[in-house]
Amino acid sequence: MSSTGTGIQPPPRVIEAARSPLMASAFAGRTKVLPILELALLIAASIAPLVLRDYITVYATRVLILCLFALSFDLVWGYAGILSLGQSLFFGMAGYGVALLSRDFGVGSIFAVLPAGTLIGFVAALLLAGFLLLGRHPSSVVFVSLGTMTGAYAADRLARGSHYLGGQNGIPSIQPMTIGSHELSEGPGFYYLVLAILVLIYLLSRFLLRSQFGLALAGLRENEQRIAFLGYKVQHLKAIIFAISGAIAGTAGSLYAFHEGFVWTNMLGVVMSTQVVLYVLFGGSGTLIGAVIGTAIVEGLSFWLSDNYRDIWPIILGVLLLLVILFRPLGLISLVLGERERVGHFGPSLKEKRNAAP
């Protein structure tokens, strides 16, 4: 090869070769399963309330909120490789936060409570990240997972003991959320609101993860030390994605509080945290749609099983989860999605390449 250094001024024949048909063909001609899957699910979710009975729509709303929560865990674990076992901390803190806003200040407007819940999740995650992730040396997975789990456990205990927070019983009978003068109670209206928020956050996450920021996260997940030696500010990256994920968990938590009409200590604790881990492992971490599918299937199965096998349904569900994790460690999504599409490409699209070529 000629002496081109790092290639700041490549000779013409190199550029010629870079534009060869080989390179173009590497982008084109791949069947894309992911967009089809996403669209199909969106259509199914949009028509669901029209065909489902009302009490199932209410249940489905709860599932959509949990999907949002699962998305937040997938961002940190599936994309950045941070094992947060205290994700419920941000979910629950936001839930309690908006419940207090409603109880003590009578604030119920969606334009106040959703931003407030999101902010609570964001700030709480940022503070925790400051303790667990920032520091001269990269913190180990075990340290971070135990640290976050301890946080969730401690919050659960504190809430149980606090008279102000309602102790064991939590905060009951929260007033409904309002949009202007309209009160939003459970049912199709609430369902479509949650669906719209889920789709919006899904698309924003998708944009972020497919950008070069997503490439940096992929590097972080695969080999944190390597990308630190390239010059990436690894701790900043981690803190930012952790805080974003906390914010999403906060949005989900505040929606959950208003949808259920009450908050209780389980929302903060380890049970909720491990549940979200199961959703994401079941569906397939490292794909956004995997988190959504995992949540929907686990919750749907529990609903159906508990109806039909009243006594032994948790055992059946447990065995199913084990089977998936044993035989499909990448989750159900790996049945339809190849490795390449799951990990993705971060190079320019064909359109961008055409623009880049002089």
Binding positions for other proteins, rule: CB under 8 A:
1-8, 10, 14-15, 17-18, 22-23, 26-27, 136, 208, 211-213, 215-216, 218-219, 222-223, 225-234, 236-237, 240, 339-340, 343, 345-348, 352-353, 355-356
CB of 291 to other proteins, least distance (A): 19
- For other proteins, the closer of residues 46 and 355 by Cβ is 355
Contact criterion met (CB below 8 Å) for 265 and 156: yes
> Distance between CA atoms of 169 and 31, rounded to whole angstroms?
52
Q: Is the dihedral of CA 267, 303, 322, 33 positive or negative?
A: negative
Determine the number of helices (DSSP H) and then strands (DSSP E) in the chain: 16, 2
Rounded to the nearest 10 degrees, how much is the dihedral formed by the CA atoms of 209, 213, 214, 216? -170
Helix (H) or strand (E) holding 33: none
- For other proteins, the closer of residues 8 and 326 by Cβ is 8
Count Cβ atoms below 10 Å from residue 22 Cβ, excluding itself.
9
Helices 212-222 and 188-210 pack at an angle, to 10 degrees, of 80
CB of 218 to other proteins, least distance (A): 6
* Structure tokens that stand for 1 in this block: 């090869």
CB of 71 to other proteins, least distance (A): 18
CB of 339 to other proteins, least distance (A): 7
Name residues whose C-beta falls within 8 Å of residue 227's C-beta, 6 or more positions apart in sequence.
216, 219, 220, 234
Contact criterion met (CB below 8 Å) for 155 and 96: no
* Structure tokens that stand for 285 in this block: 């971490």
* Structure tokens that stand for 194 in this block: 């949650």
CB of 282 to other proteins, least distance (A): 21
- For other proteins, the closer of residues 68 and 218 by Cβ is 218
CB of 227 to other proteins, least distance (A): 7
- For other proteins, the closer of residues 106 and 358 by Cβ is 358
- For other proteins, the closer of residues 135 and 318 by Cβ is 135
- For other proteins, the closer of residues 25 and 185 by Cβ is 25
